[in-house]
Structure 1
Amino acid sequence: MSALFPALRADSDRPALRFGTEALTYGELGASAAALGARIGDAGRVAVWATPTARTAVAVVAALLAGVPAVPLNPRTGERELAHILGDSTPGAVLAGADDVLPAGLAGVPRIDVETAMVHDSPVSAFSGGEPDDPESAALIVYTSGTTGPPKGVVLSHRAVAASLDALEDAWAWTEDDVLVHALPLFHVHGLVLGILGPLRRGGSVRHLGAFSTREVARELGAGGGTMLFGVPTMYHRIADALEDDPALVRALSEARLLVSGSAALPVHDHERITGATGRTVIERYGMTETLMNTSVPVGSRPRPGSVGLPLTGVELRLVEEDGTELGAYDGESVGEIQVRGPNLFSAYLNRPDATAAAFDGGWFRTGDMAVREPDGYVRIVGRKATDLIKSGGYKIGAGEIENALLDHPAVREAAVTGAPDPDLGERIVAWVVPTDAEKPPTAAELADHVAGLLAPHKRPRTVHFLRALPRNDMGKLLKKALPEALRD
């Protein structure tokens, strides 16, 4: 029996995974993973060509059973970034589907094709010696997005994966009876660790949509019997847009047990539209590659739009000033950087002891995220320290609350807020807006007055730029550094 996946038994016909028409029971998954694991035990590390398929799930589970760190690769990675990741992680093999066309950059790495739904002649019990006894051994090496330089390899241990998933079991009342539906990419921790390894650790099942569509969400959550939906704000925004004209989608969401959004803040307006149409509250959680999951709004809580909830079991969280002084105020106004510690933290940045040391403050991990804490301890993130903390006229202002205020205006479809140098204020607030109607955008003065009326006069945008769309990455995260280029385009 697997330590990470107790339900992974060779004789089990319990559904484990479904990707489109391809489905695997726990017995089939165990047999396929055990057979592959026996082939990669001496590889040192393995790269996984992380397509949204059952093959990717089998490859990662096989690596975990074999005690071989897996390096998920984004199939859309450019040649320079791919060369950096391969040079840094030095995988002994790349695991891919037989029909996957790999880029030239992988030509020098031995290829092992992944087979699925094998007969039960390679039971997990016969392969249990490969799974490491040391919980500190590396399970995954996941590369960051590289926004401040070349991507860094985040080493996640078996301990961190298990601790984070078990903490979510408590927060979300996650059981073997849950059927998770999602369409998240499998090269990030959200889609892979939470979305694939999470259900497998609980003994439940997952249905991956391949590509997101509101029609598929309605089908799998409705007649398909799904109980949980994971998504990012872009997906929930599309769901909110579709609800008025799609009674099947309304019905499916209304019957779901848990709706979870992550990777970025879900605008309050989308929260309200979904809850108003379905009666269901979207729960937000907060995590990152280096920490896996830190906080969540507990299941069954009253609606908390804009909040990422409370620290999970085992996670300690504090807010600190720029000089490192801890903020004791739970007033919903005092902004500080989030620092965390606990069993969910990563082990190191691969080959980067300097970066690893710089990331910690006496055992506390510096997240770079800025937040406030409400009187009841709930955490509300206001932005990234590097891009979303605006110091204007002596005030420390979080970009996130201004973005939510802008999104509350009916003429605003999307919004981002940044700071720009200002000789008088230090920094002025700049809004980047995608109007609902490109032919009739609101005026800058109208939006400034709107924000001032909802928040405070010193939080109003002084400059407004109108765009066709906001630049985002594969997970729907806003790329604020790309905003000037989007304006030029």
Structure 2
Amino acid sequence: MLGADGPREDQSIRVGERGLARAELLERAAGVAAEIAGAGAVAVHATASVETVVAVVGGLLAGVPVVPLPPDSGPDERAHILGDSGAGLLLAARGAYEPVKGEPPLVPVDELGRGGPVKDEAPGDATALILYTSGTTGAPKGVLVSRSAIAAGLDALAAAWEWTPDDVLVHGLPLFHVHGLVLGVLGALRVGSPLVHTGRPKAEAYAAAAQADGGSLFFGVPTVWSRVCAEPEAARALRGARLLVSGSAPLPVPVFERLADLTGHRPVERYGMTETLITVSARAGGERRPGYVGLPLPGVETRLAAEDGGPVPADGETPGELQLRAPMLFGGYLNRPEATAASFTADGWFRTGDIATIGPDGWHRIVGRASTDLIKSGGYRIGAGEVENALLAHPAVREAAVVGTPHPDLGEQVTAYVVAGTGADERTLIDFVAERLSAHKRPRTVHLVEALPRNAMGKVVKTRLGG
């Protein structure tokens, strides 16, 4: 699963200032595998560190499910994840985390000896990772991700992005999510390309990796790319890269266009979830359209469904819930058979809960989450993302989030929360959107705020918006 066949001999993994050659990484991971062999599941204190990489790879070599723990999780969230997953051990560097009473005993990854070659014999359907959802609709659920799902997903992306051992991957994303861990670490290991993890996804760090390390493939979330665009000199340093990839949330069209102008690269967008890994993407050798996430990857089938379950036409305009079938789908929610069953249709399609449009040419555009981004106002169905992009086109607007709020006549009204500089007030922004979109899509209320609430991946948490 780690792609031991044919990697570059000089493949290395560097996190911050510390690095390991591939051979050393595998030796240290083999030592972890020997220590945890036979465990039901192990938790990893998933800081941006070499120890996290060693611990996760050790779990894969041992065939033991790995539960990445966000290092900034609060005590209640941490207790829930550890208890729900049944993790019997907690892997971390000595001193990085000290388990509290009731938590699993610590295995100090940095103090273990090295091991010899480990034969990777776990079956493909065995669980590799238990990744916990964000918990925005209740307690986080454990998503069972199999070894074969990871392999299928990474191989499909390698083909779509023309990712080879000659690339140098650069990113600074957290190592407890699909984006930073599965794509950003396991992807590099499977392909055989060196990885430079910048510790944090700062514009100057990305620029330095492009110049000093020959970075060719860069991963970022929209917040990262927005901050890169805010530092033009750093952005221009990425002109020598091969591919810039954006994911985890829709990339605002103005950021797409600014990034293309500064770097010379039209970024590749892709779509995925914890439960599905990446299923839709633009191609390295093909068109990249602002506001669109591309085409299904090989082996992936998609369709749109109306609220009553009926079909939605692929006309590029009519939104519906995105449903899919794919070899990279999860194996269910841990200990939650009812939730697992509810996430699939009667004929076996996974219900993403995301609202999308699909054009006649197969190109997908994500409108948003059904729960927060599809606004039903006066008989119209309005996608929050379209209104957000219209607001972001105003030169004074730096960030925007749009939600539906109760309205006595319309059912819901379009309400915007905006971070803006001088020259933007509520009336100006309402009129600005009305000039660009249909009248029913304009915000009826605009709240000017100092910041939008975000999670560790930079996604706006709309359930925390108030006022």
**Interval of TM-score (by shorter of Structure 1 and Structure 2):** over 0.9
Give TM-score scaled by structure 1 length.
Answer: 0.92
Q: What does residue 2 of structure 2 align with?
A: 4
Q: What does residue 112 of structure 1 align with?
A: 107
1:36-75 Cα deviation digits (max 9, x unpaired): 1111112111101101011111111111111000000011
Distance (Å, rounded) in 1 between the aligned partners of 2:428 and 2:353: 33
Checking the alignment, whether the CA contact within 8 Å between 2:455 and 2:461 is kept in structure 1 is: yes
What are the within-5 Å matches in structure 2 for residues 174-189 of structure 1? 174-189=163-178
Checking the alignment, whether the CA contact within 8 Å between 1:154 and 1:349 is kept in structure 2 is: yes
Checking the alignment, whether the CA contact within 8 Å between 2:31 and 2:112 is kept in structure 1 is: no
Give secondary structure in 2 for the equivalent of 1:348: coil
How much does 1:445 deviate?
A: 2.5
Give secondary structure in 2 for the equivalent of 1:343: coil
Give the counterpart letter for 2:109 in structure 1: V
1:427 to 406, 412, 415: 412
Q: What does residue 191 of structure 1 align with?
A: 180
Distance (Å, rounded) in 2 between the aligned partners of 1:196 and 1:65: 15
1:222-274 Cα deviation digits (max 9, x unpaired): 2210111101111100001111xx2xx24421111010111111111111111
Within the alignment, does 1:336 sit opposite 2:320 as a pair?
A: yes
Give TM-score scaled by structure 2 length.
Answer: 0.97
Within the alignment, does 1:37 sit opposite 2:33 as a pair?
A: yes
Distance (Å, rounded) in 1 between the aligned partners of 2:399 and 2:135: 25
Give the counterpart letter for 1:28 in structure 2: E
Q: What does residue 143 of structure 2 align with?
A: 154
Within the alignment, does 1:269 sit opposite 2:254 as a pair?
A: yes
Give secondary structure in 2 for the equivalent of 1:63: helix
Give the counterpart letter for 1:46 in structure 2: V
1:209-229 Cα deviation digits (max 9, x unpaired): 112221111010122101111
Residue correspondences, number? 466
How much does 1:450 deviate?
A: 1.6
How much does 1:110 deviate?
A: 1.9
1:355-400 Cα deviation digits (max 9, x unpaired): 0001111211111100111231110011110011111121111000
Gaps of 5+ in 1: none
Checking the alignment, whether the CA contact within 8 Å between 1:152 and 1:350 is kept in structure 2 is: yes
Within the alignment, does 1:57 sit opposite 2:53 as a pair?
A: yes
Distance (Å, rounded) in 2 between the aligned partners of 1:271 and 1:301: 16
How much does 1:13 deviate?
A: 4.7
What are the within-5 Å matches in structure 2 for residues 348-427 of structure 1? 348-361=332-345, 362-427=347-412
Q: What does residue 295 of structure 2 align with?
A: 310
Checking the alignment, whether the CA contact within 8 Å between 2:368 and 2:385 is kept in structure 1 is: yes
Within the alignment, does 1:295 sit opposite 2:280 as a pair?
A: yes
Give secondary structure in 2 for the equivalent of 1:319: strand
Distance (Å, rounded) in 2 between the aligned partners of 1:444 and 1:53: 44
Q: What does residue 220 of structure 1 align with?
A: 209
Checking the alignment, whether the CA contact within 8 Å between 1:29 and 1:117 is kept in structure 2 is: no
How much does 1:118 deviate?
A: 6.7
Q: What does residue 221 of structure 2 align with?
A: 232
Distance (Å, rounded) in 2 between the aligned partners of 1:7 and 1:52: 27
Checking the alignment, whether the CA contact within 8 Å between 1:55 and 1:114 is kept in structure 2 is: yes
How much does 1:303 deviate?
A: 3.5
Distance (Å, rounded) in 1 between the aligned partners of 2:95 and 2:399: 39
1:453 to 435, 453, 456: 435
Checking the alignment, whether the CA contact within 8 Å between 1:64 and 1:131 is kept in structure 2 is: no
Distance (Å, rounded) in 2 between the aligned partners of 1:54 and 1:280: 30
Distance (Å, rounded) in 2 between the aligned partners of 1:279 and 1:78: 41
Gaps of 5+ in 2: none
Give the counterpart letter for 1:104 in structure 2: V
Distance (Å, rounded) in 1 between the aligned partners of 2:396 and 2:316: 28
CA shift in 2, pair 1:110/1:103, >3 Å: closer
How much does 1:8 deviate?
A: 8.8
Give secondary structure in 1 for the equivalent of 2:145: strand
Give the counterpart letter for 1:419 in structure 2: G
Checking the alignment, whether the CA contact within 8 Å between 1:24 and 1:117 is kept in structure 2 is: no
Q: What does residue 278 of structure 1 align with?
A: 263
1:462 to 444, 459, 462: 444
CA shift in 2, pair 1:340/1:292, >3 Å: same
How much does 1:160 deviate?
A: 0.7
Give secondary structure in 2 for the equivalent of 1:325: coil
Give secondary structure in 2 for the equivalent of 1:360: coil
Q: What does residue 123 of structure 1 align with?
A: 116
Q: What does residue 425 of structure 2 align with?
A: 443
Q: What does residue 331 of structure 2 align with?
A: 347
Give secondary structure in 2 for the equivalent of 1:4: coil
Per mean C-alpha deviation after superposition, the further-off stretch among 96-105 and 249-258 is: 96-105
Q: What does residue 471 of structure 1 align with?
A: 453
Distance (Å, rounded) in 2 between the aligned partners of 1:373 and 1:452: 25
Distance (Å, rounded) in 1 between the aligned partners of 2:51 and 2:163: 25
Checking the alignment, whether the CA contact within 8 Å between 2:201 and 2:220 is kept in structure 1 is: no
CA shift in 2, pair 1:116/1:212, >3 Å: farther
Percent identity (aligned): 54
Checking the alignment, whether the CA contact within 8 Å between 2:32 and 2:112 is kept in structure 1 is: no
